[in-house]
């Protein structure tokens, strides 16, 4: 059944889960049922807590603002905060189980009878959860859990899976395609410069490309430490193929992504990056490290994976994408098969179904 719903995705086979919604269906007692439609009788007062500061372009802030727009479009009142504010609230949505643990605990103490949703956005699921009591307590207190792609279910207990919804992040399809440059093959790496993103893997691979290659690596993202900024500047000085643009306004980042021939996600771990959804919506194929957060989006058999930290394999795939038209078209076709997963209409419907369960 999982193969039918998600071609090439077999990692969930054999998992017995109950009470989750995945790809628009309800899993209950091992059987699949369509989720019923939902009509709200009155708007909810929703407080959404994200650790990412206001006006930042951190992934959790981008996600929180998009979810707030979705929930408002469903008729609810949404306040986005960085910590819990003891105001009159019907529902708490907290992004990041460990970093928002205090908010989850405070809300549960003030409103023990009211529902809360904890969204596992990446490092909390794959790094914090096995060792952090705060993260584990957040999951225990939550009425429902949200993960950003279904492969994350493998990292939860049976009890946690029973209250989990997988909601893949959406992105809007561009009104028109930005034409790519003809004299070079631009490869975009869009991520803030921090260790978990392995931000210089593509730059290191590009050093080893033959002189005939027209690949240019364009990196967009803020350096989150002086050491990262210094390393990016050193890389530009020694590597003519590498261009670090720093943090750009969101519209300009999307413009550069959309004109690229290829996007590379090199992270050591991810919940499911917004840039991957944006690339799918823009019809730009990807190369990616072979990690759960991307397997849950692209499928287990995606042809553009490389082992985490494998510079030589990144180099090989870059050259193959540049020189082998058939391989490039295979990447495109594989991405197009899952484009429907990132439509705004689908994400809105899954949020509507989730709220129907708990209100």
- Report d(CA 240, CA 311) in Å as an integer: 18
- Spell out the residues 6+ positions from residue 303 whose beta carbon is closer than 8 angstroms to its own: 327, 330, 331, 334
Say what the pLDDT of residue 264 is.
98
The DSSP code for 197 is G
- Report d(CA 294, CA 223) in Å as an integer: 23
Residue-range domains of the chain with CATH? 2-169+345-358 (3.40.50.2000), 185-341 (3.40.50.2000)
Residue with tokens 């006006």: 55
Q: What is the pLDDT along the chain (359 residues), one digit of tens a residue?
A: 343 333 333 333 333 344 444 444 444 434 443 443 334 458 999 999 998 777 766 778 899 999 999 999 999 999 999 999 988 899 999 999 999 999 999 999 999 999 999 999 888 999 999 999 999 999 999 999 999 999 999 999 999 999 999 999 999 999 888 889 999 999 999 999 999 999 999 999 999 999 999 999 999 999 999 999 999 999 999 999 999 999 999 999 999 999 999 999 999 998 889 999 999 999 999 999 999 999 999 999 999 999 999 999 999 999 999 999 999 999 999 999 999 999 999 999 999 999 999 98
Q: How many Å is the Cα radius of gyration of the chain?
A: 20
Q: How many C-beta atoms surround the C-beta of residue 42 within 10 A?
A: 9
Say what the pLDDT of residue 42 is.
85
- DSSP string over 15-76: ----SEEETTEEEETTEEEEPPP---SS--EEEEE-SSPTT---HHHHHHHHHHHHHHHTT-
Say what the pLDDT of residue 36 is.
36
Output the six-digit token pair for 221: 């993202």
Backbone angles phi, psi at 312, to 5 degrees: -65, -35
Distances in Å between the Cα of 210 and the Cα atoms of 182, 185, 206, 315, 356 are 19, 14, 9, 10, 56
């Amino acid at each position: 059944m999982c193969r039918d719903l998600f071609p090439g995705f077999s990692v969930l086979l054999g998992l017995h889960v109950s009470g989750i919604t995945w790809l628009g269906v309800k899993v209950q007692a091992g059987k699949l049922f369509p989720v019923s439609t939902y009509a709200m009788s009155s708007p909810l007062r929703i407080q959404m807590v994200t650790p990412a500061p206001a006006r930042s372009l951190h992934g959790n802030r981008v996600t929180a603002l998009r979810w707030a727009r979705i929930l408002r479009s469903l008729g609810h009142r949404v306040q986005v905060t960085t910590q819990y504010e003891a105001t009159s609230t019907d529902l708490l949505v907290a992004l990041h189980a460990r970093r928002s643990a205090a908010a989850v605990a405070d809300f549960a103490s003030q409103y023990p009878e009211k529902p809360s949703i904890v969204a596992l956005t990446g490092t909390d699921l794959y790094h914090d959860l096995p060792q952090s009591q705060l993260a584990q307590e957040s999951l225990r207190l939550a009425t429902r859990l949200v993960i950003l792609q279904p492969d994350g279910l493998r990292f939860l207990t049976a009890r946690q899976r029973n209250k989990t919804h997988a909601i893949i992040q959406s992105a809007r399809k561009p009104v028109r395609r930005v034409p790519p440059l003809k004299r070079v093959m631009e490869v975009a790496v869009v991520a803030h410069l921090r260790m978990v993103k392995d931000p210089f893997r593509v730059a290191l691979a590009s050093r080893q490309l033959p002189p005939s290659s027209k690949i240019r690596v364009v990196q967009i993202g803020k350096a989150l430490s002086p050491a990262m900024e210094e390393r990016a500047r050193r890389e530009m000085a020694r590597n003519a193929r590498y261009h670090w643009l720093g943090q750009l306004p969101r519209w300009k980042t999307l413009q550069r992504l959309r004109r690229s021939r290829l996007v590379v996600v090199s992270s050591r771990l991810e919940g499911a990056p917004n840039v991957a959804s944006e690339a799918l919506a823009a019809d730009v194929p990807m190369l990616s490290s072979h990690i759960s957060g991307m397997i849950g989006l692209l499928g287990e058999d995606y042809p553009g994976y490389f082992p985490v930290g494998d510079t030589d394999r990144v180099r090989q795939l870059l050259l193959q994408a540049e020189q082998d038209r058939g391989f490039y078209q295979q990447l495109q076709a594989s991405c197009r098969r899952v484009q429907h997963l990132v439509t705004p209409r689908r994400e809105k419907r899954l949020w509507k179904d989730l709220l129907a369960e708990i209100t």
